[in-house]
Amino acid sequence: MSLMLMDEVDETLERKLINAACKARENAYAPYSSFKVGAAILSNSGKIFTGCNVENSSFSGTCCAERVALYNAVSQGERKFLAIAVVIEGEGLGSPCGICRQILAEFRADMKVLMANTKGEYNVESLALLFPHPFLLNE
């Protein structure tokens, strides 16, 4: 897949991202909170990278699914992203925490964020709307 524009992330691709995040969620390591989260991030090259939350008894050592997905992509050479899907179980919709919003913003402040649950419900927002004033040294 060639480079895409933000508006080229259509509903079919959104569903593909959400499905990938749902599958990643199954691998979550959440023995302390039992709150499993999955994420899938879409790079400009069209590749999808996934992650799940990984908890630790030293709570500050815990890593969110969004960061695991992003770090997975970055470790494989990706630097530009179009969208990320975050999936949780339950009535609500998954949404990146403040730390994840800051880290995602460094790579694309207006990234598309798909906030979803395992029932297939989701909402789409721009990261810029969710996190309007990121700290960016290069700006």
Average pLDDT over the chain reads: 93
Q: What distance in Å separates the CA atoms of residue 51 and residue 117, rounded to the nearest whole number?
A: 15
Q: What distance in Å separates the CA atoms of residue 64 and residue 121, rounded to the nearest whole number?
A: 21
> Does the reported pTM lie above 0.85?
yes
∠ CA 91-53-21, nearest 5°, is 60
Q: What distance in Å separates the CA atoms of residue 60 and residue 4, rounded to the nearest whole number?
A: 36
Contact yes or no for 116/19 (Cβ under 8 A)? no
Spot the catalytic one: 26, 66, 125, 139.
Answer: 66
How many Cα atoms within 13 Å fall on the side-chain side of residue 128? 5
Task: Pull the structure tokens for residue 132.
Answer: 């309007």
What confidence score (pLDDT) does residue 136 get?
87
Domains in the chain (CATH in brackets) are: 6-130 (3.40.140.10)
Residue 66 designated active-site: yes
What confidence score (pLDDT) does residue 5 get?
46
Model pLDDT for residues 95-121, shown as the tens digit of each residue:
999 999 999 999 999 999 999 999 999
Q: What distance in Å separates the CA atoms of residue 67 and residue 7, rounded to the nearest whole number?
A: 24
Beta strands in 1-139 (DSSP E): 38-43, 48-52, 81-88, 112-117, 122-126
Model pLDDT for residues 52-80, shown as the tens digit of each residue:
999 999 999 999 999 999 999 999 999 99
Does 2 have pLDDT greater than 80? no
Does 123 have pLDDT greater than 50? yes
